[in-house]
Amino acid sequence: MAGGPQRLASGGATIDRGAPVRFTFDGRRLDGFAGDTLASALVANGIALVGRSFKYHRPRGLLGAGAEEPNGLVRLGAGSAVEPNTKATLVELHDGLVSSSQNRWPSLAFDVQAVNALLSPFFAAGFYYKTFMWPKSFWEKFYEPAIRRSAGLGRASGLPDPGRYDKVNAFCDVLVIGGGPAGLMAALAAGRAGARVILAEQDFVLGGRLLSERHEIDGMPSSAWSAQAAAELDGMPNVTVLRRAAVFGSYDSGTFGVVVSAAPGETGPRQTLWRIVTRSAVLATGAIERPLVFGGNDKPGIMLASAVRSYVNRFAALPGQQITLFTATDEGWNTAVDIAAAGGRVVAILDTRREVSPQLRALAPAAARIFLGADIKAGRGRLRLTAIDVVDRDGRAERIATDCLAMAGGWTPMGGMAIHLGGRLAWSERIGAPVPKSTPAMRIAGAAGGQLSLAESLASGAEAGLAAAEAAGHAAAAMAIPRSSDDVVTPFQRRPYAKTRRPAFVDFQNDVTAKDIALAVREGFAIPEHLKRYTTLGMGTDQGRTASLNAIEILADVTGHPSTELMPTSARPPETPIAIAALAGASRGEHFRPKRLPASHDWSAAHGGSFTEAGPWMRPRWYTRTGEADWLTTVNREVTTVRTSVGVCDVSTLGKLDLSGPDVAVFLDRVYTNLMSTVPVGKVRYGLMLREDGFVLDDGTAARLGETHFVISTTTANALRVTQHVEYCRQVLWPELDVSLVPVTDQWAQYAIAGPRSRDLLQALLGDRIDIGNAAFPYLAVKAFDWDGVEARLFRVSFSGELAYEIAVPASVGAAAFERLMDACVRLGGCAYGTEALGVMRIEKGHVAGSEINGQTTAADLGLGKMLSAKKDFVGKMLAQRPALAAADRPALVGLRPVDRAGRFSGGAHFLAPGATPSIEADEGWLTSVAFSPSLGHFIGLGFLRNGARRLGEQIRAYDPVRGRDTLVEVVPAAFVDPEGARLHV
């Protein structure tokens, strides 16, 4: 038979018999149709055994037909595209689909670990807390690895996910969650009223239960009605219909998370995260059926009655040859009718109720035997259900041969999303389940709100949609509710749970049985939240959808508390499991975070630049020349070139803030530790900022361009934090000061030109456009000038310790300016240098940087105590005087060099006295920055040493056990090259 041997000859609301599809399961090639789910295609192919349970590795078949599925978890795809633990009931079948079962070895039919089931008495709930403690070392070596290997369901690929992902933001008046009758009506009502509506449905077809039931609406089959409603919605410009769209979470301020999957064969992202902000939502997620708890209720072939109806009506797939029904509600009987109508064989109907109405009895197919007040003592069969042992109200016991049992135990509304934000549920006696309450932010419609029947669903959906539209300002006339056939809603009846010797499963996926619950209660875990954590009930991929209410009933039964005083464990996002990659979107690999590139980037890339991350920026570390053996050779060359000739380095990444206004000098005096109001116009001053807590925040320069105009610089790493801090000072602390702040980091491309020939370079390049003679333009001068039509600024500042300048031009001509500079530089025998050479030179000069200004150091620690002005107050001044910050014995900045000049050491080494035994007490500080100094021919370092200032000349160990080093070093002043700074002033 096309589409599988168990495929019915006709019917099937969503399958397309004209579109056959081939797929594989555990290597078997199978047929199905477009519009099938993987689960329905397996049913159509007569496959009942689809997986193994988590703990006992029991053979399992499909329990459900939708998101509630606990058993039918398969592995999809191959290689890096593998997707483990996928609910077969939610997989849209497509040509070439590769699927396989999991958690079994060597095969699904024969699984070695099924022995676990034999040991199940030992493996009762919580057994592992009581054992595996001796001998102590065996836990990590033996027990735990064994547990870890047998736990877990599927296997991850271990390879990078090849999929593409994307994100979308969307806004609407009304978000309707779920496209069953309630959701469709809500969307129609709100859409017709003119509201902006988004309808999100996780299935690939709209209709919900309408697709699975043989209802009539407006005189047509319910699935035809839903297709018509879908067409109307698709045609409305103010309505967006999202199919394959799982709403997974409700977040603050009307934000919802939705993962929309691509249709099979669709190009573009595999999944897209929609962040939907809505004025209000309609929750119309339906209800799911409850299984019945009895011994052996997990045999493959035992299903929910609603699932059987889905397979039969929606997919025209018959799940068994001899079907029995076990029901606590009227659904069982309806299911029998549907099976019979499809030509299936119903052998028996078992109703737990002692009496049923004659109308109901009349529904039973003629051949079906009826048992009232019935219970099942055992489900039988190994890899598939073969028979059940039944007793009825009169004690009549019988074994009935059956290969499919449909269970109908009442309904559980899917109200999870209503409590993501802390909403509450209330017990409905009518349906025997807790239901969520509507709020203006989220109206509950249909079965999700306990309005189980079709008529109620349609009406409550329309009402919710209208109310939501109205709340968004779209008034509309009441909507006509279509006439429909309807369900008989059975008032819920409690049923004592089966006390059977056989395992009676409550949580199928996690193998939690009724007995486990009783045991947990005995051990004191008698409330649902404790029960969950002790037994793992409800902690599987289905989050206990089919288990939670049965568990509560059993708990109530065992403890004697009314179940209505118990609440199911809390629901949390995601409502449906969502891929990590979908949450991450396109932000991965190289594009994990955007890159900031300075204007010189292309030049650097073309000239051997090797790049490194500096905060968000990419900066050249060095420029390799052909023939250079390693990076150190390159860096040594760059340093030596700068120290002897000239080099150019892009320093645009430093943060720059333009500050102006009548009060700017007063303001900067408060922000910096040193005086800025005394900086003459045309001069630059080095400055230090403290945090309010008195530790150093950042250092940089302040250049006074005019009486009321400064431009200040920050370090690359701290640019954002300093901007935020200065804005805080301006807006919150002293709004009365008239100061404007404009970040100009991106406006100015800025290049350092350093080395004894830097003036020559500028002279060659700028000629008489600006007088840069030492007299006219001394150290720390700043001047704006016209560089051939470009507004430029020249600063005489130096990080390298050489005669040096920084030139700034608008970044839009930054690339051209860099080329000009490099042209002139190369002509003088100079070179471009990168961050590594920059670092070497600043260590040679003893300038502090990020490794020293690490948020834990004071100005005095850094040797900058003198920069704390005594003449004025400034941010951080008071708290910097706290005893521990002002203590004299704090580690202070020193220079270090190896006693044996050929020796080496590294940043992060600690200082220990020679001969000292390593201990916290003996620890005297640490090395912060280390470099090989080509100028001196040996390693040099900066570090913080206890009482450092008083210990020059001492020898101490740089102890670095994590690198296996221990080097004797000498404490020297923290300036190795030109300590007097003579070169700056030439």
Partner 1 sequence: MSDGWTRPAPAFPAFPPRPGLAVEEIVGRSIVTVVARAGQEAALRAVVETALGVLLPEGPRRVAGQEIAFIGIGPGKWLAIGLPVAALAPLADVAAIVDQSGAYGVLSLTGAGARRLLGRAVAIDLDDAAFGAGSVATTIIEHVGVTLVRTAATPPAYELYVVRSYARSLAHWLHETMG
Partner 2 sequence: MRYSALSLAWNAATGHRFWKPAWRDAEPKPAYDVVIVGGGGHGLATAFYLAKNHGVRRIAVVEKGWIGNGSVGRNTTIIRSNYLHPANTRFYEFSMKLWEGLEQALNYNVMVSQRSILNVFHSDAQRDAYARRGNAMRIAGVDAELLDTDGVRKRYPFFDFDNARFPIRGGLLQPRGGTVRHDAVAWGYARAASDLGVDIIQNAEVVGIDIQGGRAVAVETTRGRITADRIGISVAGHTSHVAAMAGLVLPIESHVIQAFVTEAVKPLISGVVTFGAGHFYISQSDKGGLVFGGDIDGYGSYAGRGNLPVAEDVAEGGMALMPAIGRLRILRNWGGVVDMTPDGSPFIDLTPVQNLYLNGGWNYGGFKATPAAGWTFAHLLATGQSHELAAAYRLDRHATGRVIDENGQGAQPNLH
Partner 3 sequence: MRILCPYCGERDAHEFSIRGEAPMTRPVVIGVPMAEAVAALHDRRNPPGRTREFWYHGAGCRSWLLVDRDLRTHEVFGATLASGAF
Ligand X SMILES: NC(=O)c1ccc[n+]([C@@H]2O[C@H](COP(=O)([O-])OP(=O)(O)OC[C@H]3O[C@@H](n4cnc5c(N)ncnc54)[C@H](O)[C@@H]3O)[C@@H](O)[C@H]2O)c1
Ligand Y SMILES: Cc1cc2nc3c(=O)[nH]c(=O)nc-3n(C[C@H](O)[C@H](O)[C@H](O)COP(=O)(O)O)c2cc1C
Binding site for partner 3 (CB under 8 A): 251-255, 277, 421-422, 670, 692-693, 720, 723-724, 727-728, 731-733, 735, 873-879, 881-882
- DSSP 8-state secondary structure symbol assigned to residue 152: -
Q: How far apart are CA 18 and CA 15, in angstroms?
A: 9
Over the range 599-609, which residues count as b (16 or more CB within 10 Å of their CB) and which as e? bbbebbeebbb
**Contact predicate 667/740, CB 8 Å:** no
Alpha helix ranges (H) inside 16-82: 38-44
End-to-end CA distance of the chain: 96
**Contact predicate 714/655, CB 8 Å:** yes
- Count other C-beta atoms under 10 Å from residue 188's C-beta: 24
**Contact predicate 834/912, CB 8 Å:** no
Q: How far apart are CA 669 and CA 682, in angstroms?
A: 18
**Contact predicate 825/868, CB 8 Å:** no
Site string for partner 2, 17-56 (x = CB under 8 A): -------------------------------------x--
Which of partner 1, ligand Y, ligand X, none has residue 562 at its interface (CB below 5 to 8 Å by kind)? Answer: none
Task: Return all residues near 483 (Cβ < 8 A) that are at least 6 apart.
Answer: 217, 218, 219
For 426, the enclosing helix (H) or strand (E) is: strand 425-428
Chain residues 170-199 in contact with partner 1, contact rule CB under 8 A: 170-171, 196
Q: How far apart are CA 971 and CA 955, in angstroms?
A: 6
Placement of tokens 């650097």 in the chain: 604
Assess 169 for contact with ligand Y (CB under 6 A).
Answer: no
Q: How far apart are CA 225 and CA 432, in angstroms?
A: 30
Which of partner 3, partner 2, ligand Y, none has residue 732 at its interface (CB below 5 to 8 Å by kind)? Answer: partner 3
Minimal distance, residue 368 CB to partner 2, in Å:
37
Site string for partner 2, 582-611 (x = CB under 8 A): xxxx-xxxxxxx-x----------------
- Residue closer to partner 1, measured from CB, 99 or 660: 660
- Cα torsion for 222, 224, 227, 233, to the nearest 10°? -70
Annotate 737-765 with DSSP letters as a single string: S--EEEE-TTTEEEEEEESTTHHHHHHHH
* Distance (Å) of CA 436 to CA 173, 529, 748, 857: 22, 19, 58, 54
Q: How far apart are CA 397 and CA 395, in angstroms?
A: 6
Minimal distance, residue 92 CB to ligand X, in Å:
12
- Residue closer to partner 1, measured from CB, 418 or 817: 817
Question: In 3D, which of 199, 212, 185 has the Cα closest to residue 243?
Answer: 199
Q: Of these, 560, 962, 980, 982, which contacts partner 2 (CB under 8 A)?
A: 962
Which of ligand X, partner 3, partner 1, none has residue 791 at its interface (CB below 5 to 8 Å by kind)? Answer: partner 1
Placement of tokens 């000072």 in the chain: 729
Q: How far apart are CA 339 and CA 323, in angstroms?
A: 8
- Residue closer to ligand X, measured from CB, 488 or 784: 488
Binding part of the chain for partner 2, among 200-208, 536-544, 729-737, 968-976 by CB under 8 A, reads 536-544
Minimal distance, residue 944 CB to partner 2, in Å:
10
Length reported for the chain: 986
The two beta strands, 197-200 and 165-177, are parallel
Chain residues 919-938 in contact with partner 2, contact rule CB under 8 A: 919-920, 922-923, 926-930
- Count other C-beta atoms under 10 Å from residue 962's C-beta: 8
- Residue closer to ligand Y, measured from CB, 182 or 539: 539
Which of ligand X, partner 2, partner 3, none has residue 686 at its interface (CB below 5 to 8 Å by kind)? Answer: none
Backbone angles phi and psi of 600, in degrees to 5: -85, 0
Assess 71 for contact with partner 1 (CB under 8 A).
Answer: no
Chain residues 196-225 in contact with partner 1, contact rule CB under 8 A: 196
Q: Of these, 483, 572, 588, 882, which contacts ligand Y (CB under 6 A)?
A: 572
Angle, CA of 925, 929 and 931, to the nearest 5°:
135
Placement of tokens 């959808």 in the chain: 545
- Residue closer to ligand Y, measured from CB, 490 or 548: 548
Which tokens is 693 given? 């807590």
Binding part of the chain for partner 2, among 217-225, 514-522, 558-566, 661-669 by CB under 8 A, reads 514-522
Q: How many CA atoms lie within 13 A of 154 on its CB side?
A: 23
- Residue closer to partner 3, measured from CB, 445 or 726: 726
Number of residues near partner 1 (by CB under 8 A) = 53
Which of partner 3, ligand X, partner 2, none has residue 895 at its interface (CB below 5 to 8 Å by kind)? Answer: none
- Residue closer to partner 2, measured from CB, 383 or 421: 421
For 842, the enclosing helix (H) or strand (E) is: helix 835-845
Q: Of these, 343, 473, 918, 981, which contacts partner 2 (CB under 8 A)?
A: 918
Minimal distance, residue 631 CB to partner 3, in Å:
36
- Residue closer to partner 2, measured from CB, 275 or 769: 275
Binding part of the chain for partner 2, among 349-357, 465-473, 572-580, 758-766 by CB under 8 A, reads 572-580
- Residue closer to partner 3, measured from CB, 872 or 946: 872
Chain residues 755-794 in contact with partner 1, contact rule CB under 8 A: 788-791
Minimal distance, residue 742 CB to partner 3, in Å:
10
Minimal distance, residue 252 CB to partner 3, in Å:
4
Which tokens is 128 given? 């592992």
Q: How far apart are CA 557 and CA 657, in angstroms?
A: 70
Assess 355 for contact with partner 1 (CB under 8 A).
Answer: no
- Residue closer to ligand X, measured from CB, 417 or 676: 417
Which of partner 1, ligand X, partner 3, none has residue 165 at its interface (CB below 5 to 8 Å by kind)? Answer: none
Over the range 854-879, which residues count as b (16 or more CB within 10 Å of their CB) and which as e? eeebbbbbbbbeebbbeeeebbbbee
Assess 539 for contact with ligand Y (CB under 6 A).
Answer: yes
Q: Of these, 166, 232, 658, 693, which contacts partner 2 (CB under 8 A)?
A: 693
Minimal distance, residue 154 CB to partner 2, in Å:
6
**Contact predicate 753/777, CB 8 Å:** no
Which of ligand X, partner 1, partner 3, none has residue 166 at its interface (CB below 5 to 8 Å by kind)? Answer: partner 1
Assess 790 for contact with partner 2 (CB under 8 A).
Answer: no
Question: In 3D, which of 674, 664, 673 has the Cα closest to residue 737?
Answer: 664
- Residue closer to partner 2, measured from CB, 966 or 978: 966
For 735, the enclosing helix (H) or strand (E) is: none
Assess 570 for contact with ligand Y (CB under 6 A).
Answer: yes
Assess 131 for contact with partner 2 (CB under 8 A).
Answer: yes
Minimal distance, residue 744 CB to partner 3, in Å:
14
Helix axes of 181-192 and 454-471: crossing angle, nearest 10 degrees: 30
In a 3-state reduction of DSSP, which class is residue 774?
Answer: coil
Which tokens is 894 given? 């020193």
- Residue closer to partner 3, measured from CB, 452 or 689: 689
Contact residues for ligand X, defined by CB under 6 A: 177-183, 200-203, 208-210, 213, 245-247, 284-287, 331, 411, 414, 446-448, 452-454, 457, 487, 489, 575-576
Assess 572 for contact with partner 2 (CB under 8 A).
Answer: yes
Which of partner 3, ligand X, partner 1, none has residue 815 at its interface (CB below 5 to 8 Å by kind)? Answer: partner 1
Minimal distance, residue 84 CB to ligand Y, in Å:
15
Positive/negative CA dihedral, 810, 816, 822, 828: negative
Assess 815 for contact with partner 1 (CB under 8 A).
Answer: yes
Which parts of this chain interact with partner 1 (CB under 8 A)?
A: 166-171, 196, 268, 275, 277, 586-587, 591, 593-599, 617, 652, 658, 660-662, 735-738, 740-742, 744-749, 788-791, 809-817, 820
Which parts of this chain interact with ligand Y (CB under 6 A)?
A: 539, 543, 570, 572
